[in-house]
Amino acid sequence: MELHYLQESDISFLCNLYRYPVSLVQASVLYHQLQKTHSLAMFVDNRFVGIIEFFPVKEGTYEIGYRTCFQEQGKGFMKQGVGLCKKLCKEYGVKRLIARVVENNIASIRILEYNGFLQEVNNDGVLLYVYDC
């Protein structure tokens, strides 16, 4: 698996991020929205499989969000991707990662728990998971 910062050359890959493909114009709009965060593109065997975003919360703490391409879901790629991000965080001095997930998103909960995130809060069906790096 390879991670790199999302680049303009990745826009065409974003067309297939969701269940139903979006136009190149829509993918370009998404790319520019993602540029407001620290967004990483994930590739396996030179094939785009998803994105991971980092949002600064406070000094040393980042919230992560992620999306696996629809056709690549269920293959374990995001488990690997989040694991690689944990290693990167140690290199960059990040002290804590948090993730919010709705309680019926079982796949995302499994990804977080597999990677050592612990549930701290349940706020009306939105779960807060925390990983201390």
pLDDT confidence band for 77 (50 / 70 / 90): very high
Amino acid 8: pLDDT: 95
Return d(Cα 68, Cα 83) in angstroms, integer.
Answer: 14
Which residues fall within 8 angstroms of residue 21, CB to CB, at 6 or more apart?
15
Taking residues 20-28, report their average pLDDT. Answer: 94
pTM of the model: 0.90
Amino acid 90: pLDDT: 80
Return d(Cα 50, Cα 28) in angstroms, integer.
Answer: 16
Mean pLDDT of the chain: 94
Return the higher-pLDDT residue of 90 and 75: 75
Taking residues 106-126, report their average pLDDT. Answer: 95
